[in-house]
A and B are shown apart, each in its own frame.
Chain A
Amino acid sequence: MTINNHSIKDIETMLHNNEITVKDLVESSLNRIKEVDDRVKAFITVDEENALKKAEQLDQNPNKDAKLFGIPGAIKDNIVTKGLRTTCGSQFLSNFTDPLYDATVVDKLHKAEAITVGKLNMDEFAMGSTTENSSYQITHNPWHLDHVPGGSSGGSAAAVAAGEVLFSLGTDTGGSIRQPAAFCGVVGMKPTYGRVSRFGAVAFASSLDQVGPITRTVEDNARILEVISGRDKMDMTSAHEDVPAFSEGLTGDVKGLKIAVPKEYLSEAVDPEVKEAVMNALKLYESLGATWEEVSLPHSKYAAAVYYIISSGEASANLARFDGVRYGVRSEKAKNMLDMFRFSRSEGFGDEVKKRMFLGAYALSSGNYEVYYKKAQQVRTLIKQDFDNVFANYDVIMGPTTPTPAFKIGEKNFDPMVVYARDVTTVPINLAGVPAISVPCGFSKEGLPFGLQIIGKHFAEQTIYRVAHAFEQATDFHKTLPQLGGAQ
């Protein structure tokens, strides 16, 4: 069998009717990894032995009511997995082979009987947007192998797009789930801040980070979020909110839906093909009974500056825990303890991580705190108010997930206008803490995917899924698979 053209629901039916076993399913995932991952390079670690062992256990002892019974998935490598190496894409943690516990999200997946087949590549400590900034390997976009998959959850998006697993988990601090999902033509959800526990997700910027699912379809995505969401007493910032059955609200009905389209998300820096795809999506929604109007999120242009100050400040504090004492690689050079910290951290952290630590430490240092950090927090309030104002009159906000399709590997000289436009569509969402999804909405002439971003009110994931699902059902973009060869 092959898994890469089936939904989780299909698979569930096949398992239920005994057409396939869990072992068939896991083997097909592992075979696909063997077939394509030397080209895609999405995985840092594949855990074949334990995945097969678990599959056999489930076949012998089936609990077919479990929500993700036997479903093979993979986890971004900054989410800890008990006994399975967790590197954060950094050489600093290359020897962190034996984490002591599962992150809450992983524990919840396993309780639902999903099977973890491995750990996925990422930009080091989730800092980057191409997955080129990993200490291990460069992940390739399954649609065009000379292009980036996006990042920082590039391995998570590429693994799903390449049909290696049915779902993956990523993390999103400033766009790190949605942007790679858009670049790889898959569905990626950044939930409301607090919807999903961050316990065991290695912290980058604690007031922005969220874990979320990447899948091929909206329904699959809703199922995974249903499983991983909810209050966790191990994460004091996780929300006391009920978790609706997201996958059961996919009615296809968007009649009367009021869509807001921020003019800031469709600036001149947006590629004309991307703009056309978004306009076509809006027309489709109109034909389904929704209405849309242009609005403004006036503080969007400051979002990138606010984001860099706040996320780097939080990162410089969070990364203090890497000291070469309890875990991680210790420098061989050090003769005393202070040098052990300094050398281990200098050798362990990559360039981008250090740049952000310097900015963060600078913005937080005495005399600068008011000028930079507090100022950024105040502008963050204004950015959130922009969203509150629009959501007072509209149900969802839409625009492109990214202003362009995926760029080429090694293409470092970005047009500053494009870089700015890129941050404008993703970063404000994390600052405001609202949920947003990216769904495939078209392809460039070169065959690279685009994403439509649908943003909702706090804890309105159910609305987002319903709206995204209606679009998906009316289009065929999610049915096209990248041409990697092998069994499709």
Chain B
Amino acid sequence: MSHVSEDKVKQLADMLRLAVTEEEATRYTEHLNKMVEYVKCLEEVDTDGVEPMTHAIELKNVMRDDEPKQWITQEQALKNAPDHENGQFRVPAILD
């Protein structure tokens, strides 16, 4: 049974910023359909009026003082970057 089309998967790939080949698109579509078929079992659970659970323990909103502090330096921030120049991250052209 097919729930998700290959086009939909390509659209998701676009949103996920993933380049996929035709072969990969077919394969991921197949896998996604299997998973969607599997999770359909949740339809049989009556959840009328059940609150969605967003957190495992009860949490209160926590406020902290808004104080400036030294975290990392510009030099440190660039340390693990694949490319940088003049103290800034360098990326390829944004427009072709």
Contact = CB atoms under 8 A, between A and B. Distances in A.
Interface residues of A, number: 71
B32 A358 contact: yes
A365 interface: yes
B1 interface: no
Interface in A294-344: 299, 301-302, 305-306, 308-309, 316, 320, 323-330, 334-343
Given A207-B56, A336-B92, A358-B28, A316 B16 contact: yes
B42 A330 contact: no
Contacts of A207: 54-56
Contacts of B47: 375, 378-379, 382
A154 interface: no
For A96, A359, A381, A384, the residue with the greatest tally of chain B CB atoms inside 10 Å of its CB is A359
When A and B form their complex, which 5 residue pairs have the shortest distance between CB atoms, in order from nearest?
A: A433-B56, A377-B52, A193-B56, A378-B47, A330-B82
A302 B76 contact: no
Contact of B17 (A194, A342, A432): A342
B93 A346 contact: no
A342 B19 contact: yes
A361 B76 CA distance: 33
A299 B47 CA distance: 12
A378 B50 contact: yes
A355 B31 contact: yes
B22 to A, nearest CB: 14
Interface string A202-240: 000001100000000000000000000000010011010
B52 A359 contact: no
Contacts of A478: none
A372 B39 contact: yes
Nearest to A376: B42
Nearest to A322: B17
Contacts of B76: 100
Given A302-B45, A377-B52, A334 B92 contact: yes
A362 B12 contact: yes
B55 A237 contact: yes
25 contacts: A98-B80, A193-B56, A233-B64, A237-B55, A239-B57, A301-B41, A336-B96, A337-B93, A339-B19, A358-B9, A358-B16, A359-B32, A359-B35, A361-B12, A361-B15, A362-B12, A372-B39, A376-B39, A377-B52, A378-B45, A378-B51, A378-B52, A382-B45, A382-B50, A431-B56
Interface residues of B, number: 49
A349 B20 CA distance: 12
B82 A328 contact: yes
Contacts of A39: none
Interface string A98-130: 111100000000000000000000000000000
Contacts of A340: 91-92
B45 A379 contact: yes
A380 interface: yes
Interface in A165-200: 192-194
A408 interface: no
A357 B16 contact: yes
A258 interface: no
B55 A358 contact: no
Interface in B11-34: 12-13, 15-20, 28, 31-32
Contacts of A361: 12, 15-16
A363 B40 CA distance: 12
A2 interface: no
A342 B18 contact: yes
Given A98-B80, A325-B91, A382-B50, A354 B28 contact: yes
A330 B83 CA distance: 9
B41 to A, nearest CB: 6
B52 A357 contact: no
Given A100-B72, A342-B18, A378-B53, A308 B83 contact: no
Contacts of A345: 16-19
A118 B19 CA distance: 34
Interface in B77-92: 77, 79-83, 89, 91-92
Contacts of A137: none
A381 B17 contact: no
A303 to B, nearest CB: 11
Contacts of B77: 100, 326
Contacts of B91: 325, 337, 340
